Amino acid sequence: MSFPDPIAVFRTEAAELLEQIETGLLDLNHDLANKDQVDAVFRGLHTLKGSGAMFGFEALAAFTHHCESAFDQVRKGVVPATHDLVSAVLNATDHMRALIEVPAGDHDAASEHLLSTLRLAVEQAGNPDAGTPVKPAAEPRMTHYRLHFSLPRNAMANGTNPLPLLDELRELGECTVEVHKSCIPALDDLSAGDLYLSWTVNLKTAQPRSAIDDVFIFVMDEMELSLEIVDARNEQADEASPVAEAAPTEAKSNNASGTPVRAESTAVTKAAPQQQDAKQAKSSENVRVPAERLDELMDRVGELVIAQSRLSQLAGSSGDLQLRAVSEDVERLSGELRDTMMVLRMVPVAQLFGRFRRLVHDLAIETGKAIELITEGETTEVDKSVVERLADPLVHLVRNSCDHGLETPEERRAAGKDPVGRIFLSARQAAGEVIITIKDDGRGINRERVRAKAEASGIIAPNAVLADQELLQLIFQPGFSTAQQVTNLSGRGVGMDVVKRTIDALRGSIDVTSHNGTGSEISLAIPLTLAIIDGLLVRVGAGRYVIPLSAVEECLELSPEEDMRSRGRSFISLRDSLVPFIRLRDLFNTNTTPDPFQKVVVISTGSERVGLVVDQIIGDHQTVIKSMSKLHHDVATFSGATILGDGGVALILDVGHLVAAGQHQEAQLRAAG
């Protein structure tokens, strides 16, 4: 049995910690008086420092210590939180990532520059007006603690080093350490990987008791710890400790000296029952699984679905009732396994949206604009592979909105707008797709400038007649940019091209709307998953095709009389409304005779309904999506292929591109007529 690399596990957990720290800093930047966010950032920095030292990332621990100290001063009220201080620590988190990824690199210059910026921010926060005398701090009240602790026997093997724990205790105040060796066995019984020592620590500190608890935050559940207050005269009464199970009580004795005697002695071997239950519940809620294993499992489930389809076909053509019963059981179980697997792969878009808060914060500083990011629908779930591939397109769209879309505060005031520009990022599900919308309340797209640039670049002919949507789609052409000068953010004409190519590769679509003076909106329609879907298997001529079941609304019969009446207009009457339809036989040029009673599959493509005329509806089909070959990469009508139970191949229809192709063909027929 192979065990995960401890360093790899640390890097994963450190990435999550840095994300939490970054989120806390961004929240704090909106509300500098929020003590909860200050505490959350401090705890995150403290945890990262401690775990970094534990796993040998000494440079990370030393650098993070300075950021932790800065927020410790904010937490104690010595200095207030400021925007400059938050920005300094935000920049420091990027450096922490570099220290984690390349711990042996040359980071001294960058570390010193960031720390000098941090020190300056702390000094300015503590003394914003040099002419105002700083009020001297009150003399700290000291408390004398005596701790005795021992770690589990296998602590060293699990990556816990007691020396950093002792170093952290020394940083809290005056500290003396006594080591106990009585548990060390004879040499023959000694194991080099086991820990046999325990320690007694006398600590005089002005820090609250919670600071001692923070030192042992990683090993609290498994260690043995006893803590007593030797002299409690200066103990702050309102400080509560998760280590102790009872509040301190002060006992006095009428001894000869008249001094207070020991006030408290509490031994704890584990966390309080409620805390331990909560931690156990939390640890049992989630299991960290590498993404590669999920992909491998998805491939196995896909092969199982294909094998189940073959078994169902064999059972259907056999008279063996037992074989049919087994086939039905396998079909049910494979369907449940597929549904479970799909749920495992679905992740909320919140983890995708979260990274744009930092991006917008940095862009606001770089452009000198006041920008607010508003997100909606963060609980919408999408296949993890889709989320990963959407990251780059959304980065380009958000950057474009910040740079091109939003005006400067002065321009917005002159236009009668709020000086703070807003970008809205939302997600929702609709008909088997996820719709992600990026909207801003800026100046909108200048259509005259887009047309002029397109004509100058030779993309369109001069004075060409274009629909509004066709004109707006020109911004996605390779090398197209309306920026008058190249900046660090835009102007090279590559960002929107990346968006278009990525969305096309995902078999998605892009819709653009814009209004002068009020802003622009770009909607991305993306399939929920790229793995397995429920499909409707149909036949057109001799070929078989799969229509995604999530897009199907209903199925109708098209009699020969209705077929003849609809020639030339391609509409059917459906409950007092006209629904356009596309004859797939004509679109695919099958050159076959239509069946006597054709079928119309009514599908929904966003806001409109369209009928697809097919020869036969075979039935529902669990469809494992296989990628098309490179030779067929440009065939937009199909989103992939699947293997049927008889070993044949059926193409999967891309309903969005299919409808667009049908409308284009209809327009050509009308022009020819």
Instruction: State which fold the 6-126 domain adopts.
Output: Four Helix Bundle (Hemerythrin (Met), subunit A) (1.20.120)
* Phi, psi (degrees; rounded to nearest 5) at 254: -85, 55
Strands (E), 528-624: 532-540, 543-548, 552-558, 571-573, 578-583, 598-605, 608-614, 616-624
Of 255-259, 442-446, 460-464, give the range with the top mean pLDDT.
442-446
Where does the pLDDT of residue 6 fall: very low under 50, low under 70, confident under 90, or very high at 90 and above? confident
Q: Quick one: average pLDDT of 314-343?
A: 86
pLDDT tens-digit map of 153-174? 888 777 778 888 888 888 888 8
- pLDDT, mean of residues 385-389: 83
Banded pLDDT at 441 (limits 50, 70, 90):
very high
For the packed helices 291-316 and 321-345, what is the interaxial angle rounded to 10 degrees? 160
Residue 248 scores a pLDDT above 50 = no
Cβ neighbours of residue 21 under 8 Å, at least 6 residues apart?
41, 44, 45, 48, 89, 93
The Cα 60–Cα 303 span in angstroms is 45
Residue-level pLDDT at 257: 39
- Is residue 614 within 8 Å of residue 544, measured between CB atoms? no
* Residue 144: per-residue pLDDT: 87
89-93, 364-368, 398-402, 547-551, range with the lowest pLDDT: 547-551
Label residue 520 by pLDDT band (50, 70, 90).
very high
- Is a pLDDT exceeding 70 seen at residue 484? no
The pLDDT confidence band at residue 509, using thresholds 50, 70 and 90, is confident
pLDDT of 524 over the 50 cut: yes
pLDDT in the model for residue 667: 61
Q: Which residue has the tokens 């199982």?
A: 304
Phi, psi of 520 (to 5 degrees): -130, 160
Mean pLDDT of 502-528: 86
Q: What is the largest CA-CA distance in the chain?
A: 117
What torsion, rounded to 10 degrees, do the Cα atoms 233, 237, 239, 241 define? 80
Examine the pLDDT at 425 and tell me if it is beyond 90.
Answer: yes
Buried b (16+ CB within 10 A) or exposed e, 481-495: bbbeeeeebbbebeb
CATH architecture of 532-672: Roll (2.30)
The DSSP element (H or E) to which 306 belongs, if any, is: helix 291-316
Q: Tally Cβ neighbours within 10 Å of residue 451.
A: 18
Report residue 521's pLDDT band, with 50, 70 and 90 as the boundaries.
very high
Antiparallel, parallel or unpaired: β 198-205 and 173-180? antiparallel
Residue 438: pLDDT band with limits 50, 70, 90: very high
Residue 494 has pLDDT above 50, yes or no: yes
Whole-Å CA distances, 661 to 336, 420, 527: 36, 42, 19
**Amino acid identity at 527:** P
DSSP per-residue codes, 461-513: -TT----HHHHHGGGGSTT----SS--SSS-SS-HHHHHHHHHHHTT-EEEEE
**How high is the mean pLDDT of the chain?**
79
Residue in this structure with the two tokens 């992939």, named with its chain if needed: 640
- H, E, C per residue of 556-582: EEECHHHHHHCCCCCEEECCCCEEEEE
Least reliable range by pLDDT among 200-214, 238-252, 385-399, 608-622? 238-252
pLDDT single digits (tens) 604-620:
776 677 888 898 898 88
> Which pLDDT score, from 0 to 100, does residue 326 have?
92
What CA–CA distance (Å, rounded) separates 372 from 364? 9
What's the confidence (pLDDT) of residue 568?
A: 56
**What is this structure's pTM?**
0.65
More confidently predicted of 3 and 626: 626
Residue 673 pLDDT level (bands cut at 50, 70, 90):
low
Q: Which pLDDT does position 432 carry in this prediction? A: 67
Q: Which fold has domain 349-527?
A: Heat Shock Protein 90 (3.30.565)
pLDDT score, position 569? 61
Contact of 39 with 75, CB cutoff 8 Å: yes
136 pLDDT more than 70: no
Q: Average the pLDDT over 311-339 and give the result.
A: 87
Share of the chain above pLDDT 70, in %: 82
| 170-192: average pLDDT | 85
Question: Any idea where the domains of the chain sit in the sequence?
Answer: 6-126, 143-250+259-273, 292-347, 349-527, 532-672
Q: Which of 243, 219, 58, 225 minimizes the C-alpha distance to 154? A: 219
- Kindly provide the b/e burial profile for residues 50-63, where b requires at least 16 CB atoms within 10 angstroms of the residue's own CB: bbbbbbebebbbeb
Q: How confident is residue 436, by pLDDT bands cut at 50, 70 and 90?
A: very high
Let me know: does 533 contact 551? Beta carbons within 8 Å.
Answer: no
Q: What is the mean pLDDT of residues 30-42?
A: 88
pLDDT for the residue 663: 63
Q: What is the pLDDT of residue 314?
A: 86
Judge whether residue 398 has pLDDT over 50. yes
Q: Which of 255-259, 294-298, 385-389, 579-583 has the lowest mean pLDDT?
A: 255-259
- Tokens in use for 386? 């889709």
| Mean pLDDT on 303-321 | 85
In this prediction, residue 422 carries a pLDDT of 92
* Predicted pLDDT at 252: 36
Confidence of residue 265 (pLDDT cuts 50, 70, 90): very low
Selection from 43, 246, 228 nearest residue 143 by Cα: 228
**Letter for the amino acid at 561?**
E
